[in-house]
Structure 1
Amino acid sequence: MYRVLALFLLCLPVFAWAGAPGQAAIASAHPLATRAGMAVLEAGGNAFDAAVAVSAALGVVEPYSSGLGGGGFWLLHVADDGRQVLVDARETAPGEAHAEMYLDEQGEPVPGLSLNGPLAAGIPGTPAAFVHVSERYGRLPLAETLAPAIALARDGYPVYERMRLGLNFKAEQLRRWPGSELLLPGGEVPPLGARMRLPGLARLMERLARDGLPGFYGGESAAAMVDAVRAHGGIWSLEDLENYRVIEREPLAAEFPGGLRIVLPPPPSAGGVAMIQALNLLQSYDLETMEPAARAHLVVEALRRAFRDRGYLGDPDFVDMPLERLLHPHYAAGLRTSMRNDRATPSAVFSPLHQDEDGDHTTHFSVVDAAGNRVAVTQTLNGWFGSSFIVPGLDLLLNNEMDDFATKPGEPNLYQLVGAGANDIAPGKRMLSSMTPTFLESPRGVAVLGTPGGSRIISMVLLATLAWIEGADAATMTSLPRYHHQYLPDRVVHEPEAFSAEESAALAARGHALQPSRRMYGNMNVVTWDYAGNRLEAATDPRGEIEGWTY
């Protein structure tokens, strides 16, 4: 019997690939999603087919985190030729969007307007990612890779406690819009074990599988979406949907002492830039030999500086960014001169560039197949249940990613971060994100990782990366105590068990303001491949356990 959340190792025949691990591994946030990926691998699919299956299934069984109404980043490694690519399936602003769309007559943000209802929704990218990844990288037809998710949506699955928590949290908003009966039968949160069925979503995925992009972005599907969105105050058009395309981007890659190579998403993800900046800042220190408070102090100082610079970032198709300068070790060396071992640097010392952030309710999964193909996907709707708006008849929950833009420069968004001009709203533009699907490569082996968590994604991935460099396994990486700093507000948010009393006192003595988190956070999913033992390990975050789910 396996532990919850589908910690799973699947043994498959060795494919014709030199040095192949001879196994496949999947780590995702729900056992039904992992099972969907396993079924596709067993049917002869590769890691890319399995990733489509896992992504689609997560969108059904985790409707509070992701789905066809959202978007994400797909980091791919193709074993045959070693090519690595980032499939950018981030949502885009509708064609009628403009910089002042969430402001009142006095130029002030209207509370909730960028968060709730169809006006908060960007044009989804996840369905286009399914088609693109399947056609360009997969082996199986889309109808086969989507079949497990279609069955889950049609036949249903048991409601579990985490879903109930999310429904209780968003019930009031959900009830404001048509289609809420789907998630709240009779207007009430369903009991544990009740069957959750999404028949409209099953039919929508069937059209996508049969017709490709037109099955979602055209025809009756697109018409139903646009009619519902515009009837309730949104601004989508048929042209917005028809014109959506994923973009293949070259990942960011950086090398560090010891043979470490890290592969990360470029903008419009801010995570890759921040990770490389933080590692550049930290590489001059022997963190492994430091006592914990001294180590945490330096990690916080590196994060403070990396998050300050995120204000430079936005959609590369709309803004010019000084990436070469930001990522250069010489730039980090200059920043490092202001880092003291004995004292925190107040964030007010640095002139603000402002920043914006994506949502806390996201999901991540990692896949490695027997040929050595690997996939790291982080996908989201933004907040809990996105915009709370469900397209009637399609059972499609829309994102609220428009809040990830800078609705007004200098104004905080849902996650207490403020926006800058590089990330302002424009038609067709992709909003900045912290989603950070990651590959770690070294003589030791490979790690495929990522996590949900809004702005805290970056600090979680950084802490896991530092642990992996020092020899940690996948299970240790997912269960590490976590702490976070994001430049503004100037405080260290940490899980209750992250620091001992002595370590907290030592950090406070250096001038850090500490704030215990109200809850454990994140839901990291990691697959590692150890070259020495030719062994795969998959691990899911113990924080994300779903009671009662076993194999």
Structure 2
Amino acid sequence: MSFRPMLVAAALVLAAGLSSPATFARELPHTEGQRPDGAAIASANAQATDAGMDVLRKGGNAFDAAVAVSAALGLVEPESSGIGGGGFFLLRRASDGKVVFVDGRERAPLAATRDMFLDPATGEPRPRQTIDGPLAAAIPGLPAALVHVSKTYGRLPLADALAPAVALAEEGWTFGDKNLAMMGWREAALAADAGAAPLLLVDGKTPALGTRMRNPDYAEVLKRLGRDGFDGFYRGDIAKRLVDGVRAAGGIWTLDDLAQYRVVEREPLVFQHRGKTVVTAPPPSSGGIALAQTLQILDGYDWSKRSELDRLHLRIEAMRRAYRDRAVFLGDPDFVDVPVELLTNPAYAAGLRAGIHPEKATPSAMLPGVTALERPDTTHFSIVDAEGNIASVTQTVNLPYGNAMVIPGTGFLLNNEMDDFSVKAGVPNAFGLVGDDANAIAPGKRPLSSMTPTIVVGDDQIAVLGTPGGSRIISMVIQGVLALDAGASALEAAAEPRVHHQYLPDEVSIEKEALSPELRAGLEARGHVIKEEPRTWGNMQVVTWDLTDGDVEAGADPRWKSVGKGSTQDGGIFR
């Protein structure tokens, strides 16, 4: 069944001029005369937060600090991100209110083909080829993004912003709880790779907690990046080493793949929600559109008069519909025509809302389409500096420890972002990923992402938030925004118990004890299938800036309280 008739009907509503969709914006009110009392950084690792604060102390701005945190996370959180992967930088400049979305997403190699992961004899996906090894790796975008953000928006030389990560790599970083938890899934694959095993394992096994890990190769790559910029990674010795290593292992990278990579500056997606301006990720992220759809569906209800059970039911139903559209229509906007204006129009949201029964779950089988289930590995950090500059950044290597492959002498893992493409329309891969032709593999194309770095601007507060979590990123950011609406602090928003629905499978995933017995029974009575997950998910990082008194707060997700860190600077004193 096609959605096109529904879209045509919605288009007629738009033509009538009854509603205004989300827009792409280049600037927002720049809070003239308003500055925070200090700076705040929330990231998934204390060593990375400290790197950002160190750069702020040395006179850098939020964008310099973002480069520092990003590079440090790539070292101390190799399971989640790194310069072998990519990321999105959502930035707001205080001096003129400029907002920009820096797209450093990975690209498919130029020799990639639509059916490259299918068995020629059966037409079915070949197991694990999008997960482990050289074919799984797309062309990294994060190094180019670091160069671009530093050169275009930073204040310090790039080498100075990278210096804390260089020092950590040379002097050693501490192997922690999250590194250990994620490595349990990937130890065998890491052990099988000649570059990854000596870098990340000790005698072929997972390191003990607290092990001091050194990485001089990573330090050298960062030094070259700081000295030579784009050419330090994408041309010359490092580029040749990467291409030779990938091709020797059976991959298809070329020097042209690296030399032709470009960061893309895109205008962020901007929409109104309960009197606030939400600034978020445009395609190739699916997150901003799904966030806009869900919140605009919910904005049609008198929220304050609804019971807690009603609010939860309506949120689940709104997410169900947004995730359906996500899978069908979204992909790289440089390759496919994404109907952003239509999908984010309040009139379209009203049509979706009309199909929601106030007291009964809608079976997903009644809403045709496909969806994707992604793995929960990525990282996010949020920054506000003392001038009011803002960075909301989400970056990734996709699955835990990427493709488990390190080219010897480089010091970093490669990604397995080719797994984020739809390898065959309507057919799941080994991890349940299902997509459609909009997200099909093509040379130079960026895979669809759920990363949703977001900034929410209200009359009395600016909030900066985001999280890892694969397809659950979107539902967590929705929860975070709604929690902040209700008066939650940065830490409370990051700690919010998680509830997720993504259309298929037709079930409500919850963290252990996320719902009271009464709420759970109420949802089940309305027809919702509840699945309590054995572990938590996500790692939300939130910073808030109170516009009335200038106070800033950093909230790092307490699910990893021994690892993440929110830090603030007040009156020149960092804590």
TM above 0.5, yes or no, is yes
Q: Please report how far the alpha carbon of residue 473 of structure 1 lies from its aligned counterpart in structure 2 after TM superposition.
A: 1.2
Structure 1 pair 453/423, CA: closer, same or farther in 2 (3 Å)? same
Pairing 1:6-155 to 2, within 5 Å after superposition: 18-105=33-120, 106-155=122-171
Q: Which amino acid aligns with 2:235?
A: G
Q: Distance in 2 between matches of 1:332 and 1:549?
A: 37
Q: Distance in 1 between matches of 2:431 and 2:129?
A: 15
Residue aligning to 2:179: 163
Q: Distance in 1 between matches of 2:202 and 2:554?
A: 36
**Residue number among 177, 181, 196 corresponding to 2:193 in the alignment:** 177
Pairing 1:289-368 to 2, within 5 Å after superposition: 289-310=305-326, 311-352=328-369, 354-356=370-372, 358-368=374-384
Q: Contact 2:398–2:417 at 8 Å: present in 1 too? A: yes
Q: Distance in 2 between matches of 1:547 and 1:44?
A: 26
Structure 1 pair 359/217, CA: closer, same or farther in 2 (3 Å)? farther
Residue aligning to 1:466: 482
Q: Contact 1:264–1:437 at 8 Å: present in 2 too? A: yes
1:215 aligns with 2:232: yes
Structure 1 pair 454/414, CA: closer, same or farther in 2 (3 Å)? farther
Q: Please report how far the alpha carbon of residue 368 of structure 1 lies from its aligned counterpart in structure 2 after TM superposition.
A: 0.4
Q: TM-score, normalised by structure 1?
A: 0.95
Q: Which amino acid aligns with 2:93?
A: V
Q: Contact 2:37–2:552 at 8 Å: present in 1 too? A: no
Q: Distance in 1 between matches of 2:497 and 2:513?
A: 6
Secondary structure, aligned partner of 1:169: coil
Aligned-pair identity in percent equals: 54
Q: Distance in 1 between matches of 2:451 and 2:480?
A: 15
Q: Please report how far the alpha carbon of residue 444 of structure 1 lies from its aligned counterpart in structure 2 after TM superposition.
A: 1.9
Q: Contact 1:357–1:433 at 8 Å: present in 2 too? A: no
Residue aligning to 1:7: none
Q: Distance in 1 between matches of 2:171 and 2:106?
A: 29
Secondary structure, aligned partner of 2:397: strand
Q: What is the count of residue pairs matched by the alignment?
A: 534
Q: Distance in 2 between matches of 1:474 and 1:162?
A: 22
Structure 1 pair 109/289, CA: closer, same or farther in 2 (3 Å)? same
Residue aligning to 1:197: 214
**CA offset digits 1:158-191 (Å, max 9, x no partner):** 2122212222321111122211111112211122
Residue aligning to 2:527: 511
Q: Please report how far the alpha carbon of residue 355 of structure 1 lies from its aligned counterpart in structure 2 after TM superposition.
A: 3.4
Q: Please report how far the alpha carbon of residue 156 of structure 1 lies from its aligned counterpart in structure 2 after TM superposition.
A: 1.0
Residue aligning to 1:521: 537
Q: Contact 2:371–2:502 at 8 Å: present in 1 too? A: no
Q: Please report how far the alpha carbon of residue 343 of structure 1 lies from its aligned counterpart in structure 2 after TM superposition.
A: 0.4
Q: Please report how far the alpha carbon of residue 358 of structure 1 lies from its aligned counterpart in structure 2 after TM superposition.
A: 4.8
Secondary structure, aligned partner of 1:515: strand
Residue aligning to 1:377: 393
Residue aligning to 2:447: 431
Secondary structure, aligned partner of 2:378: strand
**Residue number among 249, 256, 270 corresponding to 1:239 in the alignment:** 256
Q: Please report how far the alpha carbon of residue 547 of structure 1 lies from its aligned counterpart in structure 2 after TM superposition.
A: 6.2
Q: Distance in 2 between matches of 1:244 and 1:514?
A: 44
Q: Please report how far the alpha carbon of residue 290 of structure 1 lies from its aligned counterpart in structure 2 after TM superposition.
A: 2.6
Q: Please report how far the alpha carbon of residue 39 of structure 1 lies from its aligned counterpart in structure 2 after TM superposition.
A: 0.7
Q: Which amino acid aligns with 1:193?
A: G
Q: Distance in 1 between matches of 2:269 and 2:210?
A: 43
Residue aligning to 2:242: 225
Structure 1 pair 271/413, CA: closer, same or farther in 2 (3 Å)? farther
Secondary structure, aligned partner of 1:25: strand
**CA offset digits 1:207-249 (Å, max 9, x no partner):** 1111001111111100110011011111111000001111000
Q: Contact 1:361–1:453 at 8 Å: present in 2 too? A: yes
Secondary structure, aligned partner of 1:208: helix
Q: Contact 1:358–1:432 at 8 Å: present in 2 too? A: no
Q: Contact 2:128–2:430 at 8 Å: present in 1 too? A: no
Q: Distance in 2 between matches of 1:547 and 1:223?
A: 36
Secondary structure, aligned partner of 1:396: coil
Q: Distance in 1 between matches of 2:500 and 2:248?
A: 41
Q: Contact 1:53–1:149 at 8 Å: present in 2 too? A: yes
Q: Distance in 1 between matches of 2:433 and 2:231?
A: 37
- Which shifted more, 231-240 or 150-159? 150-159
Q: Distance in 1 between matches of 2:430 and 2:162?
A: 33
Structure 1 pair 369/300, CA: closer, same or farther in 2 (3 Å)? same
Q: Distance in 2 between matches of 1:272 and 1:549?
A: 26
Q: Which amino acid aligns with 1:252?
A: L
Runs of at least 5 residues in structure 2 that lack an aligned partner in the other structure: 1-30, 567-574
**CA offset digits 1:512-540 (Å, max 9, x no partner):** 11100111111000000111222101110
Q: Please report how far the alpha carbon of residue 549 of structure 1 lies from its aligned counterpart in structure 2 after TM superposition.
A: 8.8
Residue aligning to 2:457: 441
Q: Distance in 2 between matches of 1:423 and 1:38?
A: 38
Q: Which amino acid aligns with 1:331?
A: Y
**Residue number among 390, 403, 410 corresponding to 1:387 in the alignment:** 403
Runs of at least 5 residues in structure 1 that lack an aligned partner in the other structure: 1-15
Q: Distance in 1 between matches of 2:389 and 2:434?
A: 38
Secondary structure, aligned partner of 1:508: helix
Q: Distance in 2 between matches of 1:505 and 1:465?
A: 26
Q: Please report how far the alpha carbon of residue 412 of structure 1 lies from its aligned counterpart in structure 2 after TM superposition.
A: 2.1
